[in-house]
């Protein structure tokens, strides 16, 4: 049976900018996702640098392979393409953003035990503002997640804030400087839950996650969706055509008439000097909230 959002969860989403559906994935689907993910990680052994599928930790080596992200898994493995179009994923998304839905992005962030990288505070909106903010990210935890293994944390109500600076030293860096732009970081709510739990956060919600200090992994599959009438203000990406853009409609219909709303936007330019993933973009952030790790350090508590 597909788990939909109840009234309390929908209210929480609009009020706080996030909600959680406990153990939303059927056991057999979760088992398949875990099996495939393990196989994919096996295939990363032997890599010496990041490529179009894998983003490697700074401390990755041939002897100790360390992957921090699978990039756009839906493009490389059919299972993930089917999953992000499935009712399990889209029924709750439709309850929030309506019947016409376009996929924006897809990734799996890995926080391995003892060294999984932190993600500094940011809102997804800062990376990809659209003509309206009817968008969200749906997450799936592949592991049991508690406060020790780097849960995603969201600042309640931050999706209603004005423009939030994500620049450092004159460049977009995809992160909020906690000294320059203090926010209610200590009020952030850790989204915890058993493996198979779904998280939903508003595209403007400020969120982040700490290093994984525990002995347990924390893997989070993320898929970002917008209402089909939200068009990206930064234009099509990487030579995308209108046909490519329309192929990302995962439910309902596309439209050539964007809906324009009055929302706070700061364009993500000039681009971060370190391109690639969010981990690379965030490298030039001057003051870090969560910290990072040197090559030889372990962060077990």
Ligand X SMILES: O=C(O)CCC(=O)C(=O)O
**Site residues, ligand X (CB under 6 A):** 109, 119, 124, 152, 207, 209, 220, 222, 278
Q: Report the residue number, 90 or 220, with the smaller CB distance to ligand X.
A: 220
SS3 of 232, please? strand
Pairing of strands 135-141, 152-154: unpaired
Q: Report the residue number, 97 or 140, with the smaller CB distance to ligand X.
A: 140
**d(C-alpha 244, C-alpha 50), whole Å:** 25
Tokens of 32: 């398949």
- The CB-of-258 to ligand X minimum distance in angstroms stands at 24
Q: Report the residue number, 92 or 150, with the smaller CB distance to ligand X.
A: 150
- The CB-of-242 to ligand X minimum distance in angstroms stands at 26
- The CB-of-111 to ligand X minimum distance in angstroms stands at 7
Provide the 10 A C-beta neighbour count for residue 204. Answer: 21
Q: Report the residue number, 19 or 209, with the smaller CB distance to ligand X.
A: 209
Residue nearest to ligand X (CB): 209
- The CB-of-112 to ligand X minimum distance in angstroms stands at 12
Element (H, E) at 30: helix 27-43
Q: Which of 156, 154, 115, 105 is nearest to 277 (CA)?
A: 105
The answer to whether residues 176 and 250 touch, using CB atoms and an 8 Å cutoff, is: no
Q: Which position has the token pair 């898929």?
A: 223
Q: Report the residue number, 101 or 222, with the smaller CB distance to ligand X.
A: 222
- The CB-of-40 to ligand X minimum distance in angstroms stands at 17
List CB contacts of 272: < 8 A, sequence separation 6 or more.
171, 172, 173, 174, 280, 281, 283, 284
């Amino acid at each position: 049976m597909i788990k939909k959002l109840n009234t309390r969860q929908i209210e929480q989403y609009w009020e706080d900018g996030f909600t959680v559906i406990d153990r939303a994935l059927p056991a057999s689907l979760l088992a398949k996702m875990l099996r495939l993910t393990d196989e994919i990680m096996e295939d990363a052994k032997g890599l010496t640098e990041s490529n179009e599928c894998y983003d490697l930790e700074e401390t990755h080596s041939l002897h100790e392979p360390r992957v921090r992200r699978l990039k756009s898994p839906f493009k490389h493995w059919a299972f993930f393409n089917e999953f992000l179009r499935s009712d399990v994923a889209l029924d709750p998304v439709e309850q929030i953003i309506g019947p016409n839905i376009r996929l924006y992005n897809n990734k799996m962030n890995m926080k391995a035990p003892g060294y999984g990288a932190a993600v500094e505070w940011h809102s997804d909106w800062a990376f990809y503002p659209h003509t309206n903010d009817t968008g969200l990210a749906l997450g799936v935890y592949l592991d049991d997640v508690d406060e020790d293994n780097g849960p995603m944390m969201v600042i309640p109500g931050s999706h209603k804030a004005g423009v939030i600076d994500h620049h450092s030293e004159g460049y977009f860096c995809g992160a909020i400087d906690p000294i320059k732009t203090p926010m209610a970081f200590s009020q952030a709510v850790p989204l915890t839950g058993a493996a198979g739990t779904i998280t939903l956060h508003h595209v403007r919600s400020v969120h982040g996650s700490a290093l994984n200090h525990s002995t347990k992994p924390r893997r989070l599959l993320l898929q970002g969706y917008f209402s089909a009438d939200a068009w990206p203000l930064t234009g099509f990406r990487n030579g995308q055509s209108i046909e490519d853009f329309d192929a990302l409609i995962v439910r309902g219909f596309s439209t050539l008439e964007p809906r324009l709303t009055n929302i706070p936007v700061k364009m993500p330019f000039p681009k971060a000097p370190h391109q690639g993933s969010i981990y690379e973009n965030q490298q030039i952030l001057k003051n870090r909230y969560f910290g990072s790790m040197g090559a030889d350090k372990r962060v077990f508590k």
